[in-house]
Chain A
Amino acid sequence: MVLEREIYPYLQWLLWGTGGSNFGALPRFFAVCAGFAVLAILLGYVVSLLRAERRGGFFTGLLQAGDRVFKTLKSGIAELAATSPRRVWALAKLAMKEAWRRRILIALVVYVVLLLFAAWFLSVEHPDPARLYLSFVLSATTGLVLLIALLISAFSLPGDFKSKTIYTVVTKPVRAGEIILGRILGFTVVGTFLLVAMGLCNYVFVTRSLGHVHQVEADSIERQTSTEGEDEGRTGRTTNTAGHRHRIEVDSDNQGIALTENGHYHPLDIDSEGRITVRPAVGFLRARQPDYGKLRFVDRTGVEKARGISVGSEWTYRSFIDGNTLATAIWTFSNISAATFEESRNDQGEASGEVLPIALKVRVFKTHKGTIGQPISGTIQFRNPETTAVSDPEPFYAKDSQIDEMFPSRAQVTPEGEPIDLLDDLTTEDGRLEILVKCAERGQYFGFAQADLYISKPDGSTLMNFIKVHLSIWIQMVIVITVGVVISTLVSGPVAMMFTASFIILGIFREKFLEIATDQAYGGGPAEALVRMGTQANVVSQLDQTWGVMIVQFIDTFISRPLMWGVGQILPDFQYLDSSNYAAEGYNLPWDRIFQDLTICGGYVVAFSVLGYFLLRTREVAR
């Protein structure tokens, strides 16, 4: 679910786009800006025409309005060049002082109290406590930071208009753009300060909450001997803390580990007399770096398909293969090389051959109970896409919805029992390899999406990942501040807040919004939906083609949908920008993605500042 959208290299994203109908972000930005600029100029012209007291004839009026629009544009461009960093910084400092005076620190206190309360309700006994804690703190931080960004930005300029302090500012050689930029900058600094403080709280809270210790359960330790009577070390278990216990394995050289449970393990300290102490948990926070392949399906009769079958209740993102038939999920990976393989080490720390680190997440859909107490089994198999040489299918047990990390050895065997090399024989010259996954039990189903099987590169830094996720919250914050400040040039504080809030909410549901705008959703456009609501017709029932309905549909097609489509072009997709899932689910947030988001953010700041400049410039300050 996390990695629903593929992340493309930055430059490709920026310039050429991501295939299909998507073109690059930069051309798109310019196209949208140009479109809106034309609209804005037309609108400005009409307003100027209506506002002005007309002297002379109708045509003189037309010319005068045109002249005014042209002059405004011309001086706007000239003033852009006169922007002074000192003035911007002075205004930014003022904005900071203002925010400070509004007791912004209380937000931090509220946040700490919230975390303390949360500590009661969040349970470390959850099977994936890191995800629970991280998604909680990250959504709380996002929510609070965005709320504060909304409040401080939307009320600032209207406050200045209300107290008329703006009079003494705009009668100085201050360019309207500097007022906007200064506000954005000032509130961003304040917001950054808050976010950093919250981030520190989050880190301490998560690491402290997840940390726990176990004792060794003394009478559980058993000595293991092989059939030949050799000492094979000891096994045992830890005490139950935080709702789980670990199995302990210690080898004959007194090296040992408390095995992974609930997403973490504990290293062991073993002294010369063999006494075992359990150290703090390791591996709660992960920053997995997946390398994705392309997924396609083969159906139960052996026919290639782009998608598997749907099991109804499931979200369409995943599709399913049926067990014990020819149905297969096939991933094709590219760029496999010797470097992809990892040296595996055995318990003694000696090299024991190379392995291909992969991770698999299966969504299991059962139509019957199966064998009680037994997980559903499946097989995994490697295939060369050119020679179609295959390895012997290797069975595995599906851990429903959990990431299962596997380390199949480079040395595989064919179904006939011949040795076959995963790199030399099963991978093509240009580094392509297919991995085939099947469900082994009749009547049971495995569900997959493209991101459910990947080759894992070594983990990234979890601290860095933590910082990166906060950076993505920062990006959302800057967008909210920008939009809030710009909208507040036009309307009073509460109205600006409402507008900005709707902008955010529509941004969160941008996809749905665009679906309605492009007529892909059931129930028609807004006007038709209103009729359906009024007549209590459901979204799919056919409406009688009366004149009324036709007019309503006409309005939708030619007015409300184009309008929605237009708005949709500038809505920030907050759902997409929210990348807290990466940290929560333990994936590394790629830098490419961060740079893309930063670029989007920069685009908003630039475009909206220009918009704000003209809004403020053409506003009569002393109304």
Chain B
Amino acid sequence: MKATSHAFVDNAHAALGDGQLRRALGNIETGFQRKRAAAKLGLPEFEALRDQAKAIKDHTLAHLDLYLERFETQVHAAGGQVHWARTTDEARQSVLDICRQAGARSVLKGKSMVSEEMGLNDFLQDNGVRPIETDLGEYIIQLRREPPSHIIAPALHLNKEQIADSFRDAHPQFPAERPLSEPRQLVDEARSVLRDAFLKAEVGITGANFLVAETGSTIIVTNEGNGDLTQTLSRVHIVVASIEKVVPTLEDATTLLRLLSRSATGQEFSAYTTLSTGPRRPDDPDGPEAFHVVILDNGRSALLGTPAQDTLRCIRCGACMNHCPIFAAVGGHPYGWAVPGPIGAALNPGLIGIEEAHHLPHASTFCGRCESVCPMKIPLPKIMRHWREKAFEKDMMGTVPRLALWAWAWAAKRPRLYRWTTGPMMAVLGRLGRRKGRFRSVPLAGGWTRHRDFPAPQGQTFQQAWAAHQRGARRKGQ
């Protein structure tokens, strides 16, 4: 997909002014945060499983070439085919070739973030193959020609009235005056429309949550059952996945599965977890006749061995974005690429380049909640800091922040000078701001104070306050 991450700042501003969006994002706390917390409480081994999950992926990444080879061998043994793609261009060409070979005019799709990354839908459409999204959330945003705003809840940013409007436009076959004010009515209408599409399916494309090297199986985890209908009713099943999705064994996949749904939606297990291995067997009564796995690199292999390697442990549960104050304020769209939120800020600079994505690692308060909830223990703030350094090295920050940081660093390396200058400065600022407790504007920081007040310091530096505290403690101790 074409990234718009460079426009993060403007898009985030626009999002902040969107009242409807703010209401929709308000659902995150009740919908996702509380449910995850309850699910974690329900499994005493949750923390220990996080450690094991991290170890599984670290081991796999250290042997990624070998596990991918075994996966390929096993897919072949089961009668399937593997297609390797260095770039998103190669990946979507592979998919198109398979569709053309099958003579398909349309394809059904289950939810897949890798296909978003590939910009697959637009590409297929431009080449005469109509993609039909079947996950309810993806279907809704496809009707609205929007990208997903969340990796597990693509239509998170919409309310039911907006969805009803889209359905009325898109489904002229139904009476115009039908009631569509309840979620139930919307779900039923989508079910009946997509049912026809399922029964005419030619090619079905799904993503994969995991690829199992031991068996050559691809695993999808869903709740609706659309991914299963997509692959079972199609003549040809194409799986699109990225290289880091592979895990060694069924047991390893199991450990990750125990964490995935709990972290994502707070479910102990999603309704449907499906392992697909090769095409239908000669005596199977149904299932696809052909099975293809398209495996995409798109820059990931080059991240191995760098500080950003840990992002490749991600299992795309969405917990980091569900607990991110920035995401909760602006939603997923401003991030401007397939993966939003903290993991987007840590991963995307490595995949689409720091030039495009340099705003993203700055979209963080470094509160650390993302890392604390990440089932894979990915040090997201640390990786964002790494990208901030890269952006600084590449001179991508603008002159004023750069000069200010440079001056601060220069002074901070000279403790005595630092104390001499900051002490009086705090005293003056503290006195000036005493009445209101805040400043409307601060010289050289107009960009910052345009949207918020600068809190007035208390009059002492931390070091002064700390020294006073120590003196007090010593006196008490005597």
Q: Do A and B come from one complex?
A: no
